[in-house]
């Protein structure tokens, strides 16, 4: 079977798959839709997708003008989907929400019944025909939505020396608000850890058109100090706005 391999700048097509820009033998999270909506006066937002299955998705909310962050799902607010809609609750009323919806189902099961696979370049999964099938769940790639592209990976280290708030900023230089993932020891943040009454810690980050800002809130001695925490960020070329 024909195979399409795209190397990263400076690499070769013989590189390990994790170092390639694209390999048609692999499966990808295929973007169905990216959108910005505004929650209502109670902080509720419903997005109708009508896919008939549970799609993979994630979202950012605008915490202040031009500043975006990931929502702490286990705290105030949350998000879930059913086979018809995505339901998001924001921390405050009338907040803007950026949502990415993938064509992939949450359990990665393939199916049929949707006509949402479009684009000049389409690569079907094994056993399916890119010239006939139209459901994105049956595709590895479709150029109409594409896949996410990494601008750079950056490690930001914060040394916590006591109770209080500690931050580190990084100027990403993109000139727009990029989508970004941030991890701490394998955990995707934001995370909140309750230790005991009055003792907790919170890892969070914000992103705007200039800086990625990572924050540690150490409340009441929730963390044993001094301690240095390495935050691994994946900054995408893909925009929030």
Rounded CA separation 55/79 (Å): 13
* In the chain, domain spans: 31-142, 150-239
The CATH number given to 150-239 is 2.60.40
Rounded CA separation 141/241 (Å): 23
| Statement: residue 73 has pLDDT above 80 | no
Once rounded to an integer, what is the mean pLDDT over residues 144-166? Answer: 94
Q: Which of 155, 158, 156 is nearest to 225 (CA)?
A: 158
Question: For 83-122, what is each residue's pLDDT tens digit?
Answer: 999 999 998 999 999 999 999 999 888 999 999 999 999 9
Once rounded to an integer, what is the mean pLDDT over residues 36-51? Answer: 96
């Amino acid at each position: 079977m024909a195979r399409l391999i795209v190397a990263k700048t400076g690499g070769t097509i013989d590189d390990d798959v994790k170092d390639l820009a694209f390999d048609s033998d692999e499966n990808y999270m295929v973007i169905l839709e990216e959108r910005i909506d505004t929650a209502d006066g109670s902080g509720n937002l419903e997005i109708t997708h009508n896919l008939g299955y549970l799609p993979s998705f994630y979202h950012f909310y605008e915490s202040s003008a031009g500043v975006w962050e990931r929502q702490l799902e286990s705290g105030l607010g949350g998000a879930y989907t059913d086979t018809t809609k995505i339901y998001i609750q924001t921390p405050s009323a009338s907040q803007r929400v950026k949502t990415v919806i993938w064509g992939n189902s949450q359990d990665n099961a393939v199916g049929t019944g949707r006509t949402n696979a479009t684009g000049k370049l389409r690569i079907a999964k094994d056993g399916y025909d890119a010239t006939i099938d139209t459901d994105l769940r049956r595709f590895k790639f479709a150029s109409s939505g594409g896949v996410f592209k990494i601008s750079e990976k950056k490690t930001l280290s914060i040394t916590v020396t006591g109770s209080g708030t500690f931050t580190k900023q990084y100027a990403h230089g993109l000139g727009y608000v990029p989508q970004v993932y941030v991890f701490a020891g394998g955990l995707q943040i934001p995370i909140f850890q309750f230790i005991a009454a009055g003792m907790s810690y919170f890892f969070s980050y914000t992103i705007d058109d200039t800086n990625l800002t990572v924050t540690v809130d150490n409340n009441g001695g929730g963390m044993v100090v001094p301690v240095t925490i390495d935050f691994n960020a994946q900054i995408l070329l893909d925009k929030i706005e």
